[in-house]
Amino acid sequence: MTGTQVSELKTAHATGSREPAGILQPAGFPGLPAGWTTKWETFPDSDGTCTLFATQYQREDLKSLKSVRALIVLHGLGEHGGRYMHLPHYLKDTVDLIYCHDHRGHGRSQGPRGHIERFDAFAEDAGAVIRRLSDQLAREHAKSEVHLLGHSMGGLIALRVGILSPELPIASLIVTAPLLAVKAQVPALKKAAAALLTHVWGSLALDTGFDPSVLSRDKNVVDAYVSDRLVHGKMTSVFYSQMNAAMAATLAAVTSGNCEIKPPIEILVPLDDGLVDADKALFFSEGLKHTDKRLKVYEGFKHEIMNELGKEQVFEDIAEWITSHSALKPQVPSSTSGRS
């Protein structure tokens, strides 16, 4: 992208291998499909306070394509874009490019771990990414479109993007296990302590006590998460307060009828989620006044539905949604090529 540092990585992504940046795929997970490569870039965040890192998975022949379908992925709390390396394997016939930046304070992006002064700064960063990628694709290809996918906290960020920036060129929106309320009840004493810390030491990062076993029934996913050096389990009282305010504002927008999200939206909800309150996602879906929305639920699935046993069905649902809401021609049948 213009004004950013871009460097191509070597791509020998065998199952379970480490890429040059040190990312470990869960055992048994696919690497990049044939004909795909990885690039990375760094760029300033939306308010110029720190530098963000992004990973871009793309077809090797991307520059030669007349039309390009892109997917921007917003990751969840404490994780990073490197955990989405398997998406091209499942979506290679649906999109030509998958872009995932590490939120500020996450992964290889700058910023204190688990801290943010304003939660909607995440949404502003995402909005800036959408604009830059859309503009770049428009310059380089005759036709292009951008779809947006957010998981967990990334799902909340995606919803904030839709609410705060309805003018953005988003062809469709997908949220998986969107963070609209936490499942576990926080003791009153901890809430009071968080409120106090917000005023006296709001930047103090504390361990969340997060249990990785709630992520997936796939033990390999949990093991890879635990050993991932780029994952963190920190959160400051200010972050906690800001996150709660963003969840409340998003639910209030639906309740009041003022949630004017324009892109077609698909909401994917695991019903055995021990981290995020699935009922709030169902409430949001039911209350959302939208002519083009779809709700899918997954019995027995834990929080990370794209990393779950049976994730193939999830990716089929995502691919079908993107394809059915695309203005571009369908994929040309080929082992390594796509739209022409």
pLDDT at 270: 98
Mean pLDDT for 102-125 is: 95
Nearest residue to 155 via CA among 242, 38, 284, 56: 284
Residue 175, CA distances (Å) to 12, 89, 204 in order: 30, 20, 30
Task: Read off the pLDDT band of 199 (50, 70, 90).
Answer: very low
pLDDT at 307 over 60: yes
Does the pLDDT of residue 200 top 90, yes or no?
Answer: no
What is the chain's mean pLDDT, rounded?
A: 87
> Which one of the listed residues 134, 152, 285, 326 is annotated catalytic?
152
Predicted confidence at residue 208, as pLDDT, reads: 63
Identify the pLDDT of residue 14. Answer: 33
Q: Tell me the pLDDT tens digit for each residue of 116-160.
A: 999 999 999 999 999 999 999 999 999 999 999 999 999 999 999
196 — pLDDT class (breaks 50, 70, 90): very low
Give the pair of three-digit tokens for residue 251.
Answer: 């639910």
pLDDT digits (tens, 9 = 90+) for 75-95: 999 999 999 999 999 999 999
Residues 6+ apart with CB under 8 A from 21: 9, 40, 82, 108
- The answer to whether residue 96 is catalytic is no
Q: Does residue 310 sit in helix, strand or coil?
A: coil
Structure tokens given for 122: 């995440």
**pLDDT tens readout for residues 203-231:** 444 566 678 999 999 999 999 999 999 99
Distance (Å, whole) CA 65 – CA 68? 7
- Within 10 A of 149 (CB to CB), how many other CB atoms are there? 29
The whole-number pLDDT of residue 207 equals 60
The pLDDT of residue 257 is 85
∠ CA 225-231-237, nearest 5°, is: 125
Rounded to an integer, the average pLDDT of 281-292 is: 95
Short-list 292, 312, 290, CA closest to 301: 312
pLDDT at residue 339 above 80? Answer: no
User: To the nearest whole percent, how much of the chain has pLDDT over 90?
Assistant: 75
Is residue 273 flagged as an active site residue? yes
Torsion of CA 238, 83, 147, 112, to 10 degrees: 20
pLDDT reported for residue 329: 73
Give the pLDDT of residue 15: 34
Radius of gyration, CA atoms only, the chain: 19
Mean pLDDT of the 8-14 span: 38
| Tens of pLDDT, residues 40-80 | 999 999 999 999 999 999 999 999 999 999 999 999 999 99
pLDDT, mean of residues 2-6: 44
Q: Which residue has the higher pLDDT, 192 or 234?
A: 234
What is d(CA 177, CA 297) in angstroms, rounded to the nearest whole number?
10
pLDDT score for 269: 99
Pick the catalytic residue from 102, 120, 228, 273.
Answer: 273
In whole angstroms, give the CA distance from residue 62 to residue 140.
Answer: 10
- 303 a catalytic residue: yes
Average the pLDDT over each of 108-117, 265-274, 318-327 and give the range with the smallest value.
108-117
Tokens of 200: 């006296």
What's the pLDDT score for residue 21?
A: 52
Given 13, 101, 106, 303, which residue is catalytic? Answer: 303
* Over residues 305-330, mean pLDDT: 95
| The model's pTM | 0.88
pLDDT at 281 over 90: yes
